[in-house]
Amino acid sequence: MCKAGIWRRGIPLFALLATTAWTTAVRAQGADCSGTPRCLADLKKFSHCELARLFDQATVSAIPTGDFDGALLQVCDAKFPRLRVWGSNFTWRGKVIFCDAHFINRWIGGHKWIESHFEIGPSWWDGKPAIVGDYAPGTPVFGNTRDELRELGPGLYLGVIYDRCPCPRQTGFIGLECRPVCGCK
């Protein structure tokens, strides 16, 4: 067989492999073809830079209400970041947000503990509007924490987490998704 025959047969194989690799990459990114996440599971597949870009582009219309599943997506500058994400997601399940913007965190076993409230205010990220939740000093687990949320799509929110003291610094990203039974706004 001549080299030209091998080359011609190799092109369809190369095209098939390239198409398969591209399709796998799009699926692994966890989004539709436009790169937009559709659910919390999609957000878990994005890198830190991709989450930052999504937060930059996201908007705020109103403080949502309802029962939201939540996940810690990434942590910044921490030892054993994957273990910290896993540990957090093993225990923390999300938030219940009430009509008065008050919220309470949901935990493993259906427990509800650690409350605060949201308001719309300027983001530490870029100064644009965000749904801001500051925990009071001395609050267990989250006493030094500020959450900032923006809406990516109907019922899907991306948040940046900060430690407030000794100086504000980003500690990670969270995602919230309205539970199907809640009738979120």
Q: Is there a single domain that holds both residue 11 and residue 62?
A: no
Which is more confident, 180 or 107? 107
* Total domains present in the chain: 2
Q: Is there a single domain that holds both residue 74 and residue 20?
A: no
Q: Is there a single domain that holds both residue 151 and residue 65?
A: yes
The C-alpha atoms of residue 141 and residue 138 are separated, in whole angstroms, by 9
Other beta carbons within 10 Å of 37: 24
Q: Is there a single domain that holds both residue 20 and residue 54?
A: no
Other beta carbons within 10 Å of 133: 22
Q: What is the mean pLDDT of the chain?
A: 84
Q: Residue 79 has what pLDDT?
A: 87
- Retrieve residue 44's tokens: 């878990």
Q: Residue 1 has what pLDDT?
A: 44
Q: Is residue 18 part of a domain?
A: yes
CATH number at residue 160: 2.40.160
Q: Is there a single domain that holds both residue 48 and residue 6?
A: no
Residue numbers of the domain that contains 68: 40-178
Is it the case that residue 5 has pLDDT exceeding 80? no
- Retrieve residue 75's tokens: 């942590």
Is it the case that residue 14 has pLDDT exceeding 90? no
Per-residue pLDDT tens digits for 145-159: 999 999 999 999 999
CB 71 within 8 A of CB 175: yes
